[in-house]
Structure formats: C-alpha cells, structure tokens
Amino acid sequence: MNTKERLIIVAILVTILLLVTMDLFTDSREGVVWWHLCIEGFAAFSAMIGIFTLLRGMFHVSRSLKEERGRNEILLAESIKWKEQSKKYLEGLSQSIDAQLTRWGLTPSEKEVAFLLLKGFSSKEIAIFRNTGEKTVRAQSVSIYQKSGLAGRSELSAFFLEDLMSPSEIE
C-alpha cells in the first residue's frame, strides 16, 4: 500500500471517528441504552487504532526508506571509489589480455569475441551485440580455442583470471 492510499484510508477513518464521536455525545445526552453507546464507542476506538496503525506504518516505512537511501549512498560511493582505484589495474589487465590474444594470432573479430566470452556473454548474446549470426560466433570461438591451444571457455577464463585470485580465495 503506497503513501497516498494510506492517507486516504486515514482520512476516511478520521471522518468515521469524528462522526461516531459526535453521535456518541448526542446519544449520551438523549439517554440511549448503554449497549448502543458501547458499540459506537468500540467503533470509534477501532477507527483510532486503525489511524494509529496506519500512521505508525507510514513513519516506519519512511524511516526505513531513509536508512536504505543512506546505505545505498554509502555503497554507491564505495563502488565509485573502487572503480577509480582499480581503473589502472583493469586497464593494464585488458592490455595484457589483448597482447596475449595478439600472440595467439587472433583476428580483430576473434579478439572481440574472446573479450566478450571472458565477460561471460553467451554465443547468442555476442551474436546480437556484434550483429552477426550465432554460428559465426561459434566458429570464431572454435578458432580462438584452436589458436590458443585451450579446450574451451572455462580454460580461456582460467588462463587469464586464475592468477588474480589469492590463495585464501581458492581454499
């Protein structure tokens, strides 16, 4: 339930509370039977509980949202800081990978496919991204594996990424 809906329901309950309270005063002056006053009092009390519950929920949601926004800002700042700090390393890694792909004698198209394979894209996704057929991507992948002497995607990834993990991460 969003804030607007909650406020509408609160307004309806406040109206009910006011009308029932006015009716209670009128009825009590006219000498209406006690059980009738109890029923109307219960209706007024129920409306008050409803108002309290909805407003408390709204404040709780508002507070939680504010806390989450704060955490999100912290995480975003950490992410930006990490990207800035690691940018030179990632550029170096990218250049090193490119140099190795060149040593293997890959064509520019095969290099592009190799980078996309390392990023984890499927053959279908690579075909869409490069605006080529999926069979073309598969053929280029086979050529990459043959030229590199690797058996497949997992060996290609391991060739470049295995040494990035510290021994404590492997265990």
- Summarised one tens digit per residue, pLDDT across range 10-58 is 999 999 999 999 999 998 888 889 998 899 999 999 999 999 999 999 9
Q: How far apart are CA 12 and CA 19, in angstroms?
A: 11
Amino acid at 117: L
- Do 126 and 116 contact (CB within 8 A), yes or no? yes
Query: How many CB atoms sit inside 10 A of residue 19's CB?
Result: 14
**pTM for the full model?**
0.52
What CATH architecture is 104-171?
Orthogonal Bundle (1.10)
Q: Residue 164 — pLDDT band, cuts 50, 70, 90?
A: confident
The answer on pLDDT for 167 being more than 70 is: no
Lowest average pLDDT, out of 66-80, 92-106, 156-170, goes to 156-170
Per-residue confidence (pLDDT) for residue 99, from 0 to 100: 93
Q: Which residues neighbour 60 within 8 Å (Cβ) at sequence distance 6 or greater?
A: none
With vertex at residue 87, the alpha carbon angle to CA 86 and CA 88, rounded to the nearest 5 degrees, is 95
**Where in the chain are the domains?**
1-85, 104-171
Q: How far apart are CA 29 and CA 58, in angstroms?
A: 37
Q: Residue 59 — pLDDT band, cuts 50, 70, 90?
A: very high
The answer on pLDDT for 106 being more than 90 is: yes
The answer on pLDDT for 155 being more than 70 is: yes
Per-residue confidence (pLDDT) for residue 85, from 0 to 100: 86
Q: Residue 2 — pLDDT band, cuts 50, 70, 90?
A: confident
Q: Residue 166 — pLDDT band, cuts 50, 70, 90?
A: low
